Structure 1
Amino acid sequence: MMLIEVTHVSQAALPVEQFKEHLRLGKGFADDATQDGLLETHLRAALAAIEARTGKILIAREFSWVLHQWRDPAGQVLPVSPVTDVASVVLIDRHGAERTVDPDSWFLEPDQHRPTVRPLGGDLPLVPQGGQVRVVMTAGYGPDWTDLPRDLAQAVIILAGHYYDNRFAAATAVAMPEMVRALIESYRHLRLFMGGAHG
């Protein structure tokens, strides 16, 4: 199974100015536009860390998920959430030939924790022996920072600030702060990845 991020979080979607305000509450932050690149790096790192911990995609973007078999032909739970759209389901044989599954034969069952592709009657189409199936989907709370739940948005800002404060420390020494873990806990314990529950 392989999940590929097809599109990426744009610079415009990142709350750089809000992050600056957060850092001004501490010591030693120089309000200098030349630091914007560094701030963006820390925001992206915090965003990625929280998405990895929760299985939730924060800023909406497109993903391609390739798997060798359905875990359950009656309905395949998707590896991330929330999913707002499934653009295509494509069967790929062992020689690489592709066939797009009729979109009238399946549907997306939206869910904040377990979005699922389900067949319209019967089972999902059989994956060719030795082949794969590719699901292309859009996941995320929305395209803008203001679309995020407030607790997740706050967790990203706090964690990015923590990374900024510890930017000269070894990466292995920078643990996730307790406040961030508390903010994301209600999302993390319901995390699903590749259709299975993870704590």
Structure 2
Amino acid sequence: MMLTERSPIPVAALPIEAFRAHLRLGRGFSSDTLQDTLLEGFLRAAYAAIESRTGKTLIIRAFQLDLQRWDSHGAQTLPVAPVAAVDRIAQVDSLGAETTVAPDRYALHPDTQHSQIVARAGALPNPPKGGLIRIDLQAGMAATHADLPADLAQAVMMLATHFYEHREDTGLHRGCMPFGVTSLIERYRTLRLRLGATS
């Protein structure tokens, strides 16, 4: 299984002006936009960190999933959540030629934790010998930062601010995340079942 992000979070979806105001950076100067690239980078880092910690994709964007085989003949659990749409499923042969699978052969069962592709009848189509199944999909909770749940939006802003304020600090431990951010995102973490317990 290989998951590839086909499109990054669009710049227009990022709250750069709101982040600038949050940091109380000055306005009205000719150099106002000089830090925009820097601010964008910290916002993207905050999104990535929170997505990694929660197992949720925050801003909707395109992904490509390549599979050598299905989880089962009738269903495939998707490694991103929540999945907004499956754009296309294709059988890819050993030479890279793609054959689109008819959309009436499968359905998306959306879920905030583990979305699935399921066969409408019978089994999902097998990958060609020496080939794979390619799934193009859209995943994410919201189209823009402003559309996110308020607690997640605040967590992104707080973490981006933390990264900005400690940008010169090389002593932070790997995976360091402020307690306030951890508290805000805790309820969004993906539950994993393990030996009869959740983690």
Same fold (TM over 0.5): yes
Q: Give the corresponding residue for 1:41.
A: 41
CA contact (8 A) 1:54 1:191 kept: no
The residue correspondences of 1:161-180 to structure 2 (distance < 5 A) are 161-170=161-170, 173=173, 175-180=176-181
Give 1:155 shift: 0.9
> Partner amino acid for 2:35?
Q
> Partner amino acid for 1:143?
A
CA contact (8 A) 1:64 1:137 kept: yes
Answer with 169-178 or 137-146: which moved more.
169-178
CA contact (8 A) 1:67 1:132 kept: yes
Q: CA, structure 1 residues 113+21, in 2 after alignment: closer, same or farther (shift >3 Å)?
A: same
Q: Deviations over 1:24-63 (max 9, x none)?
A: 2xxxx55543222211110011011111222211111111
Task: Output the CA distance in 2 between the equivalents of 1:172 and 1:98.
Answer: 46
CA contact (8 A) 1:65 1:136 kept: yes
Structure 1, gaps ≥5 residues long:
193-197
Structure 2, gaps ≥5 residues long:
none
Task: Output the CA distance in 2 between the equivalents of 1:122 and 1:81.
Answer: 25
The residue correspondences of 1:10-29 to structure 2 (distance < 5 A) are 10-24=10-24, 29=25
Task: Output the CA distance in 1 between the equivalents of 2:183 and 2:124.
Answer: 38
Q: CA, structure 1 residues 151+191, in 2 after alignment: closer, same or farther (shift >3 Å)?
A: farther
CA contact (8 A) 1:50 1:156 kept: yes
Q: Give the corresponding residue for 1:105.
A: 105
Q: CA, structure 1 residues 58+171, in 2 after alignment: closer, same or farther (shift >3 Å)?
A: farther
CA contact (8 A) 1:55 1:191 kept: no
Task: Confirm or deny that 1:184 pairs with 2:185.
Answer: yes
Provide the aligned length of Structure 1 versus Structure 2.
190
> Partner amino acid for 2:95?
H
Give 1:117 shift: 0.5
Give 1:172 shift: 5.2
Task: Output the CA distance in 2 between the equivalents of 1:88 and 1:189.
Answer: 26
Task: Output the CA distance in 1 between the equivalents of 2:82 and 2:171.
Answer: 30
Task: Output the CA distance in 2 between the equivalents of 1:156 and 1:113.
Answer: 20
Task: Output the CA distance in 2 between the equivalents of 1:73 and 1:158.
Answer: 44
Give 1:171 shift: 7.1
Task: Output the CA distance in 2 between the equivalents of 1:165 and 1:159.
Answer: 10
Q: Give the corresponding residue for 2:114.
A: 114
Q: CA, structure 1 residues 13+135, in 2 after alignment: closer, same or farther (shift >3 Å)?
A: same
Answer with 97-106 or 158-167: which moved more.
97-106
Task: Tell me the TM-score normalised to structure 2 length.
Answer: 0.87
Q: Give the corresponding residue for 1:140.
A: 140
Q: Give the corresponding residue for 1:80.
A: 80
Give 1:142 shift: 2.5
> Partner amino acid for 2:185?
I
Q: CA, structure 1 residues 17+191, in 2 after alignment: closer, same or farther (shift >3 Å)?
A: farther
Q: Deviations over 1:86-142 (max 9, x none)?
A: 011111122323211111110111111111111011121112233211100011122
> Partner amino acid for 1:116?
Q
Task: Output the CA distance in 2 between the equivalents of 1:172 and 1:119.
Answer: 47
Q: Give the corresponding residue for 1:125.
A: 125
Identical amino acids, percent of aligned pairs? 47
